[in-house]
Each structure stands twice: as C-alpha cells, then as structure tokens.
C-alpha cells in the first residue's frame, strides 16, 4: 500500500469522525444523548429485583431460606404467600407467590426485633390483606451463623377462601327455610324416638356406640323397653342392628323383662 493511499484513508476516517461530532450521530447511526437531556429508562439488564446492595447477610438468607419459601408456596399454592425480610435494613428481601402486592426492597414495616430474642415462632396471628381478605400468618425468626437474628420468614395464608366454603356448607347443613317435622308424617316415627333416646343415654354416660360393653347393651334394652320403644313393628330388629347385637339376644332380654315385669 502506498503512503498516498494510506493518507487518503486516514484523512477520510478523520473527516467522518468530525462529521459525526458535528451531527451528534455515533458510528452505529443512533443519536447521542445531549448532556442536558433527561435520563431515559434503564436498560432491561439493569432492572434487577434487588434494590439494595447485596451483602453477606442477604446472600445467606437467600441461599439458605429462599428454596424453603418456594417449597411452602408451591405446596399451598395459590393460598400461601411466603416473605423473607432482612432485619438489618428492614426491607423485603424475597417474595414467593405474591399475594400482598409488595415488592422486593419495600420497607418491611416490622417492629424492631430484639437481637437477644430467641423466640423462633411468632403466631399464628391474623392480618387484613389489601383486598379485604383475612390472612392467617406465622413468622419465624431466621438466625445467622453466629446465632444472631438476621431475617424473618412470614407465611401468610389466605383463609378467606375457607370462610366462603364454610358459608356454603352452612347453607346446606342448616338449610334455608327448614321447617319442623310435619306431625302427620312423623307421628309414629318410632325409629327417631329410639335414636333420640339412645344418643341422650350415651351422652349422659359419655360413651360412644363403639365403646358399649355387653352390660351397657343389656341396660339399653331395658331402658328402651321402659320407654315403650319396642311397640313399633320391627323395633327389636332395628335396636339389634344399631347396638350391634344379635336379634336372638334382644328377644331373650325382652322375654326376661316380660316374665319379671309384665308387658309394658
């Protein structure tokens, strides 16, 4: 290459650079920002979720406890939110299944934790979420390797959805517009009379059907006989089935009662 040609190329590059300086156009063709221009939006690569500068404490909390938070949130999804707070700067460090519309870096709004405290579990307690739903919460103090409180993990469970389920169940259990039993249908309902007497007898003695002894069953047959429960058709068979007795045993007790006391 001759010296003349090289100088020509150098002078051309210098002229182009000078032109770019006059026009404000960089080599790529994009306009250069004026020194007095307002700052534009941050590039996407700078929009990191961590607002505060990373620190050894934050790294410890994230490494050790963020996977636990993710696991709890996944197990109870979509009803549980798990928040990790940094107690050193009182900020939200990590959020799993965000239900509270907070953001990483927000103020924690926690009361100051005594660094001598050793209470690891706080709660359960209730809070009201932004949408008016009740949240049942448990908070766990997180300690660093020196045993000092470093963070707080809060598990916030949306229990309002269960209030709605309970209201629906109450509608079916209590019923709407339920009236008393019509007398014309249940005047001779001997089965219900037996059931009512039987469970009143069990409550008085604080015993369940499965816990009845042979003596209990004999006493029940005698008590039901005294109430006239066996006047209904097939009442003896019904009592035998309910009490888990053989029909022959019930008839044996009834025969003995008739012989000793007479027909009731």
Which tens digits make up the pLDDT trace of 86-102? 988 889 999 999 998 88
DSSP SS3 for 196: helix
Cα separation, 152 vs 172, whole angstroms? 42
Quick: pLDDT tens for 225-254: 888 888 877 888 888 898 888 889 988 888
pLDDT for res 177: 63
Cα separation, 32 vs 217, whole angstroms? 98
186 token code pair: 């249940």
Quick: pLDDT tens for 168-217: 888 887 766 665 655 544 445 778 888 888 888 899 988 888 888 999 99
Classify the phi-psi angles of 187: left when phi > 0, otherwise alpha if psi is within -120 to 50, otherwise beta: alpha
pLDDT value at 146 more than 60 = yes
DSSP SS3 for 119: coil
Which DSSP state fits 77?
T
pTM of the model: 0.49
Mean pLDDT rounded to a whole number for the chain? 76
DSSP SS3 for 114: coil
Cα separation, 17 vs 8, whole angstroms? 14
pLDDT for res 26: 45
Domains of the chain: 56-162 (3.30.450.20), 184-261 (no CATH)
Residue 5 confidence class, pLDDT cut points 50, 70, 90: very low
Estimate to the nearest angstrom the gap between the alpha carbon of 221 and the chain centroid: 48
pLDDT value at 151 more than 50 = yes
pLDDT for res 139: 92
Tell me the average pLDDT across 16-40. Answer: 46
Tell me the average pLDDT across 132-156. Answer: 90
The dihedral built from the CA positions of residue 52, 56, 58 and 59, taken in this order, carries a sign that is positive
pLDDT for res 55: 79
Among 245, 213, 243, smallest CA distance to 205 is for 213
Residue 57 confidence class, pLDDT cut points 50, 70, 90: confident
The strand pairing partners of 210, in sequence order, are: none
Residue 49 confidence class, pLDDT cut points 50, 70, 90: very low
Tell me the average pLDDT across 123-152. Answer: 89
Does residue 208 contact residue 202 with C-beta atoms inside 8 Å?
A: yes
Quick: pLDDT tens for 99-118: 988 889 888 877 655 544 55
H or E segment and range at residue 60: helix 56-75
Cα separation, 234 vs 225, whole angstroms? 14
Alpha helices in the chain (DSSP H): 3-23, 56-75, 160-174, 183-186, 190-205, 214-226, 235-243, 247-261
pLDDT for res 96: 95
78 token code pair: 């979509």
Residue 38 confidence class, pLDDT cut points 50, 70, 90: very low
Longest dimension (CA), the chain: 142
Estimate to the nearest angstrom the gap between the alpha carbon of 86 and the chain centroid: 23
């Amino acid at each position: 290459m001759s010296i003349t040609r090289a100088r020509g190329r150098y002078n051309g590059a210098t002229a182009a650079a000078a032109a770019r300086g006059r026009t404000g156009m960089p080599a790529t063709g994009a306009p250069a920002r004026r020194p007095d221009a307002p700052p534009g939006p941050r590039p996407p690569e700078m929009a990191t979720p961590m607002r505060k500068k990373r620190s050894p404490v934050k790294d410890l909390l994230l490494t050790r406890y963020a996977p636990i938070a993710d696991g709890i949130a996944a197990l109870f999804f979509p009803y549980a939110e798990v928040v990790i707070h940094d107690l050193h700067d009182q900020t939200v460090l990590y959020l799993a299944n965000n239900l509270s519309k907070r953001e990483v870096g927000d103020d924690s709004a926690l009361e100051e934790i005594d660094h001598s405290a050793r209470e690891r579990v706080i709660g359960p307690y209730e809070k009201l979420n932004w949408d008016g739903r009740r949240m049942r919460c448990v908070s766990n103090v997180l300690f660093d390797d020196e045993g000092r409180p470093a963070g707080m993990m809060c598990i916030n469970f949306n229990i309002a959805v269960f209030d709605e389920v309970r209201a629906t169940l109450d509608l079916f259990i209590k019923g709407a517009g339920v009236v008393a039993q019509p007398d014309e249908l249940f005047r001779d309902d001997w089965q219900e009379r037996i059931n009512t007497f039987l469970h009143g007898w069990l409550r008085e003695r604080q015993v369940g059907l499965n816990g009845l002894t042979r003596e209990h069953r004999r006493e029940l047959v005698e008590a039901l006989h005294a109430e006239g429960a066996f006047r209904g058709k097939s009442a003896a068979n019904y009592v035998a089935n309910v009490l888990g007795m053989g029909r022959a045993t019930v008839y044996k007790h009834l025969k003995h009662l008739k012989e000793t006391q007479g027909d009731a």
